[in-house]
């Protein structure tokens, strides 16, 4: 089994540090032997025993790199996840597993197709049954891993007396390819998204096992950022995911838009992928080296500018019956409390990475994302001194803020508890400060860790703790408010949001006029 390591160029490193849509060892074959681990570190899962490690500074036990599914390699490539083999000897769970194959990874990470693992952090002491926070990482459905350093769950788990779980899932073509041959093989009109099935398998693992790690399976909160938030909304709409989580958090992600594919779109892109790979059947595709799979269809420049492709969940009609926003509107989504929000300057990083943009490139993004009829009105409304400045603002509004507000209004209209926020705090780190409250900065606040030379200043710790505490209260009760933090439920009538900054406060009508403009443009899927 091959393990692939990729070095970043300085340009790619700068992008990762900023964007985190590019977020951000060994594999889980025969577990290496470990010498007489203390009994308190060993947990018997439903597939076999695992031995974690103790973080004495933060008073947590960490169980890392636990396989929740069999390796999706060889004949298992482009198939639904299966249970891993049983093991009897104590398995070393002191290191995270590899990330799923992708073009860019942090210098400390490795990648492998054998990567369907998850990580669990358990506070030492505290409640006998703790709420559970399961995190789905972002990365534009082409990058990222639950094992990256930014997502270390020790600080969040310790402060909130909660069990924190982070997970991997298949990404890119390996996780979201749609093709007629795959549908025929599965006996369905359109094949499901294997990445979504992986996420569901991780949630099922949590239901079967988390009580053994002192977690309460009835108090599972599914939270994600960027592509992870798109995924959370997919699970709200997926009948097969019903009952696997009790609360949902969507950070800088949406329930509609170009990252969801209709069957026709997915099939067309799948055929182009097969041609680019030089294959005519599934056997050839499954035998292709993973490096060729990764590069068969290049992604869009900066994940936004054509030419190139996106990858994302397929609305196949069965696993994902409809675009998630429609499920929220129809009342067929899981009726759980929802916390949803965006960052004030989401688009600044997205506009910075592709380099100088032309008006044609900006208009191409708008056409791809919102349809032909949006191009003229958007260009007129977002006329700015530079095309990049125009793009930064339209991406913030059309790509994130108004998508989140639309989902909140639809879900709240069905009587579900919804809480909306906007983050306006710019990290003090000089590597990110000039980008303002841009895409992904809340991850440093929620997890409290350092990544890529970016760390919280001491003065930012109170805000970090306040956000952790709100997410922790939401996980326990479905309500993030407290005596010291007023945060009313959102309704279309009150249109109220919490503004996260050094001194959090409430605001009404945030983006209301702007979103009335954007609500005209919803991209249909085919």
pLDDT at res. 23: 33
Q: Examine the pLDDT at 311 and tell me if it is beyond 60.
A: yes
Residue 5 lies in a domain: no
Per-residue confidence at 377, pLDDT binned at 50, 70, 90? very high
What percent of the chain is modeled with pLDDT above 90?
Answer: 88
d(CA 73, CA 79): 9
Residue 458 lies in a domain: yes
Question: What is the pLDDT at residue 11?
Answer: 37
Residue 525 forms part of a structural domain: no
How do 163-167 and 117-123 pair as beta strands? antiparallel
Residue at 407 is within a domain: yes
Range 362-368 average pLDDT: 96
Provide the pLDDT for residue 17.
37
307, pLDDT greater than 70: yes
Please tell me the number of Cα atoms within 13 Å of 44 on its side-chain side: 2
Residue 478 lies in a domain: yes
Instruction: Determine, yes or no, domain membership for 1.
Output: no
The per-residue pLDDT for 302 is 85
Instruction: List, for residues 430-454, the tens digit of each pLDDT value.
Output: 999 999 999 999 999 999 999 999 9
- Name the 3-class secondary structure at 338: strand
Per-residue pLDDT at 239: 98
Summarised one tens digit per residue, pLDDT across range 171-211 is: 999 999 999 999 999 999 999 999 999 999 999 999 999 99
> Which has the higher per-residue pLDDT, 30 or 257?
257
Residue 40 pLDDT level (bands cut at 50, 70, 90)? low
Whether the per-residue pLDDT at 366 is higher than 80: the answer is yes
Q: Count of CB atoms within 10 A of residue 318's CB?
A: 15
In angstroms, the CA 103 to CA 415 distance is 43
Q: Is 392 left (phi over 0), alpha (psi -120 to 50) or beta?
A: alpha
Q: What is the DSSP letter of 257?
A: S
Q: Which residue's entry shows tokens 């899932």?
A: 169
Could you check whether the bond before residue 307 is cis, i.e. omega within 30 degrees of 0?
yes
Q: Report if residue 295 sits inside a domain.
A: yes
Q: How confident is the model at residue 443, as a pLDDT? A: 98
d(CA 49, CA 369): 47
Lowest pLDDT segment from 54-58, 261-265, 293-297: 54-58
Query: Does 1 have pLDDT greater than 60?
Result: no
Question: Could you give the C-alpha distances from 289 to 8, 70, 112, 296, in angstroms and in order?
Answer: 21, 19, 12, 11
| 18 vs 338, more confident | 338
Per-residue model confidence (pLDDT) at position 29? 39
Distance CA 516, CA 402 (A): 9
Q: With cut-offs at 50, 70 and 90, classify the pLDDT of residue 524.
A: confident
- Number of folded domains in the chain? 1
In which domain, by residue range, is 33 found?
10-518
Q: Which amino acids are annotated catalytic? A: 226, 346, 439
Mean predicted confidence (pLDDT) in 509-526: 93
- The mean pLDDT value for 360-369 works out to 96
For the entire predicted model, the pTM comes to: 0.93
Residue 16 has pLDDT above 90, yes or no: no
Q: With 70 as the cut, is the pLDDT of residue 20 above it?
A: no
Mean pLDDT value across residues 469-473: 98
Unique residue bearing structure tokens 């570190």: 41
Three-state DSSP state, 210 = helix
The pLDDT value recorded for residue 56 is: 87
pLDDT at 478 over 80: yes
How confident is the model over 10-29, as a mean pLDDT?
36
Identify which has the larger pLDDT, 397 or 254: 397
In a domain, 495, yes or no: yes
Are 499 and 506 a contacting pair, CB within 8 Å? yes
The distance of Cα 234 from the centroid of its chain, to the nearest Å, equals 11
Q: What is the CATH number of the domain that holds 408?
A: 3.40.50.1820
């Amino acid at each position: 089994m091959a393990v692939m390591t990729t070095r970043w160029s300085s340009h790619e490193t700068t992008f990762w540090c900023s964007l985190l849509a590019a977020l951000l060892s060994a594999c889980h074959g025969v577990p290496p032997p470990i010498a007489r681990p203390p009994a308190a570190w060993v947990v018997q899962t439903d597939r076999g025993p695992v031995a974690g490690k103790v973080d004495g500074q933060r008073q947590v036990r960490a169980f890392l790199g636990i396989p929740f599914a069999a390796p999706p390699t060889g004949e298992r490539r482009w198939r639904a996840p299966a249970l891993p083999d049983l093991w009897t000897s104590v398995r070393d769970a002191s290191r995270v597993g590899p990330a799923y194959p992708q073009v860019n990874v942090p210098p400390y990470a490795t990648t492998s197709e054998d990567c369907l693992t998850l990580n669990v952090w358990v506070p030492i002491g505290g409640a006998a049954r703790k709420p559970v926070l399961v995190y789905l990482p972002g990365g534009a459905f082409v990058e990222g891993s639950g094992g990256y350093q930014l997502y270390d769950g020790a600080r969040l788990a310790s402060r909130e007396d909660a069990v924190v779980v982070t997970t991997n899932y298949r990404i890119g073509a390996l996780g979201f390819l749609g093709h007629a041959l795959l549908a025929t093989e599965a006996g369905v009109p359109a094949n499901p998204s294997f990445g979504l099935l992986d996420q569901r398998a991780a949630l099922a693992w949590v239901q079967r096992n988390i009580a053994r790690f002192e977690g309460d399976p009835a108090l599972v909160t599914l939270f994600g950022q960027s592509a992870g938030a798109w995924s959370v909304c997919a699970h709200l709409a997926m009948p097969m995911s019903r009952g696997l989580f009790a609360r949902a958090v969507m950070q800088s992600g949406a329930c509609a838009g170009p990252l969801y594919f209709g069957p026709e779109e997915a099939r067309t892109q799948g055929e182009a992928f097969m041609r680019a790979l030089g294959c005519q059947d599934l056997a050839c595709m499954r035998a292709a080296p993973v490096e060729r799979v990764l590069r068969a269809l290049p992604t869009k420049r900066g994940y936004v500018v054509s030419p190139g492709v996106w990858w994302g969940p397929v609305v196949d009609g069965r696993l994902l019956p409809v675009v998630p926003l429609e499920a929220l509107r129809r009342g067929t989504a899981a009726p759980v409390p929802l916390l949803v929000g965006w960052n004030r300057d989401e688009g600044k990083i997205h506009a910075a990475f592709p380099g100088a943009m032309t008006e044609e490139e900006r208009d191409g993004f708008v056409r791809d994302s919102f349809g032909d009829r949006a191009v003229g009105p958007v260009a007129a409304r977002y006329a700015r001194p530079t095309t990049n400045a125009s793009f930064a603002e339209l991406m913030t509004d059309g790509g994130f803020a108004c998508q989140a507000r639309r989902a909140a209004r639809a879900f709240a209209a069905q009587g579900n508890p919804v809480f909306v926020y906007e983050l306006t705090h710019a990290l003090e780190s000089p590597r990110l400060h000039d980008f303002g409250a841009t895409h992904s900065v809340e991850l440093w606040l929620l997890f409290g860790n350092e990544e890529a030379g970016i760390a919280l200043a001491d003065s930012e710790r109170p805000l970090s703790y306040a956000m952790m505490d709100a997410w922790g209260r939401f996980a326990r009760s479905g309500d993030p408010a407290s005596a010291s933090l007023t945060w009313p439920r959102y309704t279309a009538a009150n249109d109220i949001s919490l503004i996260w900054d050094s001194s959090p406060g409430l605001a009404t009508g945030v983006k209301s006029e702007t979103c009335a403009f954007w609500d005209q443009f919803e991209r249909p899927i085919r």
